Amino acid sequence: MNNKNKLLREYIKEAQLGKKAIGHFNISNIEGFWAVVLGAKNLNLPVIIGVSEGERDFIGVKEIAVIVKNYREYTGQAVFLNADHTYSFDRVKEVVDAGYDSVIFDGTELPLEENISITKKCVEYAKSVNPEILVEAEIGFIGKSSKLLDAVPDGVGRMTTPEEAKDFVISTGVDMLAPAVGNVHGMVKGGEPALNIPRIKEISEATNIPLVLHGASGNSADDIKGSINSGVAIVHINTELRVAYKNGLMISIQENPDEISPYKYLKGARIAMQKVVEEKLKLFNNL
């Protein structure tokens, strides 16, 4: 996996043709960065690093863009950066100008017409700055939290229809779409709802663009494989990484209570996250 000039859209197309998916993993710090890139490197697979508004504000909007771009250029590893869940045009503009590889405008809580209008504005601006940037949008509310949940959040449940997905894509010109198909952001303690695999296939056929599965933490392997076989090209994982980070860090500190060097006790957190990354990438790529 050593092609500095190969575009993200090309990797996505290859994944679709092979009934595989690219893993998208959210990070908040440099330990997360290394967990993702080293996990993908070990398996020789492309990968997407995701940063939500809160995550990129913490790590640095421009700083993480420079880190990913420079790493990709000097290693040749296929690592890309996505601005996850972005809620306004101004914040979309910010990451487009910073050189991100892709961006998601999330207008799921807006009236549909307003979601369409702002999404279209985001697409037009992004393509005017960088014709190769990928713009994703969402229709259908699946919650907003990457936390451990006691129950499915209020408002989650109604699934995206093929008809509204098709109309949305035609009206906005987005490159990718994240529909509501039974998925939930975060992890439900009692178990995740089942994904509606037939609905995913219907939306894929209606829109003819790559679909993105958000909120995949906690979903069964069979559901994830079924979604990939039905048109999902990118799968998002965040909550499982956060749980692994916290648990790995706690174990590391408990086993080394007198250690005060962050680079030593944080290593346990990084290794725990990397294990999750590799397990998920194997699942997404039938390895």
Q: What is the pLDDT of residue 66?
A: 98
Cβ atoms of 57 and 44 within 8 Å: the answer is no
In the chain, count H helices and then E strands: 12, 10
| 84 carries an active-site annotation | yes
d(CA 82, CA 25): 10
Report DSSP state, residue 87: -
E strands in the chain: 22-26, 47-51, 79-86, 102-105, 134-139, 148-149, 176-179, 187-188, 211-213, 232-237
d(CA 277, CA 32): 10
Q: Which domains does the chain have, with CATH numbers?
A: 8-284 (3.20.20.70)
Find tokens 């908040």 and name the residue: 28
Torsion sign over Cα 222, 192, 87, 174: positive
Strand blocks (E) in 123-269 = 134-139, 148-149, 176-179, 187-188, 211-213, 232-237
**Count of CB atoms situated within 10 Å of the CB of 243:** 19
d(CA 201, CA 121): 28
**Tens of pLDDT along the chain (287 residues)?**
456 679 999 999 999 999 999 999 999 999 999 999 999 999 999 999 999 999 999 999 999 999 999 999 999 999 999 999 999 999 999 999 999 999 999 998 899 999 999 999 999 999 999 999 999 999 886 655 555 545 445 555 678 899 999 999 999 999 999 998 887 755 555 555 778 899 999 999 999 999 999 887 778 899 999 999 999 999 999 989 999 999 999 999 999 999 999 999 999 999 999 999 999 999 999 99
Q: Distance between CA 89 and CA 228 in Å, rounded?
A: 30
The one catalytic residue among 57, 84, 97, 167: 84
Distances (CA, A) of 171 to 46, 60, 112, 177: 30, 33, 11, 13
Query: Residue 174's closest CA among 215, 216, 125?
Result: 125
pLDDT at position 140: 80
The CA radius of gyration of the chain, in Å to the nearest whole number, is: 18
